[in-house]
């Protein structure tokens, strides 16, 4: 449960607008990515897959590149979230990851937050989608049956490495990561994704 919350928070934080990590000395505002296109898996799809009616997508999350659909009783029913991360979006996030990694500088290696902090450091230095995928999937990832060779699941999320993107999916039911439903979202994304 704690790992799932941490993974969801890390995914949402990672997809926050890039201006969060911008330095005060910047003369011009950093580029901002367009809001996420949440049409490949929409409210109706998310509700059907989750098994509960969802609102959404959350506009704040969309601005950060994530499609986040939440049920009215999220802790009891759940949520559906996904992102399609491209090279351009990754470049916009580096400042945010670096700022978070700096904030983690004094975190004790044995503290519960240490895992999240270590991930921020890896993500801050991820220069391409392969490094990003490696930082996201980590050593505890395992292949996902029924998806391509580039699909893995951790205890908290499903990640797929495509030639031009990394797809991230988290379906949470009653506070737990639901791999079966996450796989269903991933299959829909693959089938409906615009190239």
pLDDT at site 31: 56
Report which of residues 89 and 68 the model is more confident about.
68
> What is the total residue count of the chain?
195
Instruction: Assign 32 a pLDDT band (cuts: 50, 70, 90).
Output: low
What distance in Å separates the CA atoms of residue 19 and residue 16, rounded to the nearest whole number? 8
Mean pLDDT value of segment 17-25: 38
Instruction: Assign 128 a pLDDT band (cuts: 50, 70, 90).
Output: very high
pLDDT at site 7: 47
Instruction: Assign 79 a pLDDT band (cuts: 50, 70, 90).
Output: very high
| pTM, to two decimals | 0.79
pLDDT at site 49: 97
% of the chain surpassing 70 pLDDT: 82
DSSP H or E segment with residue 102: helix 87-103
Output the CA torsion 150→193→65→113 (10° steps). -20
What distance in Å separates the CA atoms of residue 180 and residue 195, rounded to the nearest whole number? 25
Contacts of 114 (CB under 8 A, 6+ apart): 107, 108
pLDDT at site 17: 39
pLDDT at site 150: 87
DSSP H or E segment with residue 84: strand 79-85
pLDDT at site 19: 34
Residue 23 pLDDT exceeds 50: no
What distance in Å separates the CA atoms of residue 94 and residue 127, rounded to the nearest whole number? 9
What distance in Å separates the CA atoms of residue 192 and residue 94, rounded to the nearest whole number? 28
Mean pLDDT value of segment 147-159: 92
Residue 179 pLDDT exceeds 50: yes
Mean pLDDT value of segment 58-62: 89
Residue 91 pLDDT exceeds 90: no
Q: Among 39, 96, 78, which Cα is nearest to 62's?
A: 39
What distance in Å separates the CA atoms of residue 106 and residue 12, rounded to the nearest whole number? 23
Report which of residues 69 and 114 the model is more confident about.
69
pLDDT at site 92: 76
* DSSP assigned state of 21: G
Report which of residues 139 and 7 the model is more confident about.
139
* DSSP assigned state of 53: -
What distance in Å separates the CA atoms of residue 86 and residue 36, rounded to the nearest whole number? 12
């Amino acid at each position: 449960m704690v790992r799932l919350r941490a993974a969801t928070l890390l995914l949402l934080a990672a997809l926050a607008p890039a201006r969060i990590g911008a330095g005060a000395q910047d003369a011009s505002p950093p580029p901002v990515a367009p809001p996420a296109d949440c049409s490949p898996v929409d409210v109706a799809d998310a509700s059907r897959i989750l098994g509960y009616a969802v609102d959404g997508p959350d506009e704040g999350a969309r601005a950060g590149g994530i499609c986040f659909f939440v049920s009215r009783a999220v802790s009891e029913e759940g949520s559906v979230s996904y992102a399609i991360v491209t090279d351009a979006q990754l470049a916009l996030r580096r400042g945010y990851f670096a700022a978070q990694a700096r904030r983690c500088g004094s975190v004790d290696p044995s503290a519960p937050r240490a895992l999240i902090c270590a991930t921020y450091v890896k993500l801050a230095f991820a220069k391409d989608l392969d490094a990003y995928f490696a930082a996201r999937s980590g050593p505890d990832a395992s292949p996902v049956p029924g998806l391509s060779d580039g699909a893995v699941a951790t205890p908290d999320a499903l990640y797929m490495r495509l030639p031009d993107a990394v797809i991230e999916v988290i379906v949470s039911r009653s506070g737990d990561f639901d791999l079966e439903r996450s796989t269903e979202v991933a299959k829909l994304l693959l089938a409906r994704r615009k190239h």
